[in-house]
Structure 1
Amino acid sequence: MDGTTRERIATRSADDIARIREAGLVVWEVLEALSAAAVAGTTTLELDRLAADRTRALGAEPAFLGYHGYPACLCASVNDEVIHGIPSKRVLRAGDVVGLDYGVVLRGWYADSARTVAVGQPPPEAARLLAATRNGLASAIAAARAGHRIGDIGAAVQRYVEERGYSVVRDFVGHGIGRRLHEPPQVPNYGRAGSGASLRVGMVLAIEPMVNAGGCEVETLDDGWTARTLDRSLSAHFEHTIAVTENGPEILTLPPGVEFRVE
């Protein structure tokens, strides 16, 4: 869902960032509920309804519903689906992995996050892919510091996951976020360190590596949204909304005091 243009990259005040964090905490709470509900026998459509109900109970609105015509609240991408999986009557089965990508708007401010979770006990190869993608995101977040560049973020992801034998999806990228779901800049998950726009205090970015167990190539299905790996290998997706601050990157889609666990 890339709606960015060549506009100026916004920097946000401390008050603005606090409002984005409020939206981010709604996203986190919804993803916690979805992760717990992603068990064998559940459909992805049931997860979508849960997300919508929990979001509205918290005073926010789903950000994806209707965005460029997207027909659901949640993106639920199973196994070899990379991103933008449309919820349906598909039943989750033990051993599946499902990418849960979710965003909300709260009082005019947007936040966006994603995680890939296992249904039951994941096969070892799936567990390794999920850990590598999550740790790749952690490496990217660590690189999101004032004075660094956009290319440093993508280079950190690419280096981490490729050293472990995985590939980075190039067709979809992260983005700025704030008053709109997608704002400048685009934030690729690959690239050359030291390239791209300079990172400044107040920038808010959604960093979201998508990593495949096989090749990086993807294809979009006939529904116009769901992207799958071309070679049908497993894929994983993790994302956080972060702010660039004087003290380093701050994750806005985690509660204060909760650390982003790496494996």
Structure 2
Amino acid sequence: MTLFDIQNPPLARLQDWYRSPLGQEVARVECASVQRLIANTFGYYLVQIGVIETFQDALASSRIRHRVLIASESSAAQRWPQILSRTDQLPLAADSVDAILLPHTLDFVANPQAVLSEVERVLIPEGRVVILGFNALSAWGARGLMGRARGRAPWCGRFRTAAQAGKWLSVLGFDIEVCEHMLYRPPFRHAQGAGCEPFESWGPRFLPRLGGVYAIRAVKRVATLTPLKPSWFGRRRAILTGGAMRPTRRGTGHV
């Protein structure tokens, strides 16, 4: 079985892992982060791509009116409209979505840059994307190198760093608004509860970039065209070629 086996997609395996005791603890911390990052984002459409069930309560508090889930397989547990689709070929119109959540989606797809390219295409100007990812430079990333963990969720994915994700976003014209790390405890079931308090208190102070999970909120920036002065030499200057798209009139933004 390959990493991206169609018959057993890694994102489905991640959803199963979220139901475990350790996965539930991770979900609790991540959902709190997602709620903070989308709290003041407005608009008409919020799209979640990837894991279906885990973040529905976190998104329920969003001020965005309509929520859509995009996944590779259906789930009876979802409460909102669902679209079955490839993550790198979204069946959405360009400049139509106000915000997108990628909960570890980039960790478990074959071509994360293609997914981000699609995200950039469908987001409206000034639209937001929120990304959750497992940090390769952490105890969570180190455990993935151990023999017993290999091939098991969530270590069957490919962990990266927030810096790598930020570089991909920058190439596509996004600006990073927030980047935070969390989960400094070791990725073992016995490291939950009161025994993990030293990790969670010392980690952000002394090793802030070594949290097991990173969260990024980025905004899509669109360069504006500066009108050119007419040529004094009598030549007609070509500014645009082909058709022009009508800009959206929908009000959206982030406070």
Task: Report the TM-score when normalising by structure 1.
Answer: 0.28
Structure with more relative contact order (C-alpha pairs < 8 Å, separation 6 or more): 1
Greater per-residue strand proportion: 1
Task: Report the TM-score when normalising by structure 2.
Answer: 0.29
Question: Which of the pair has more CA radius of gyration?
Answer: 2
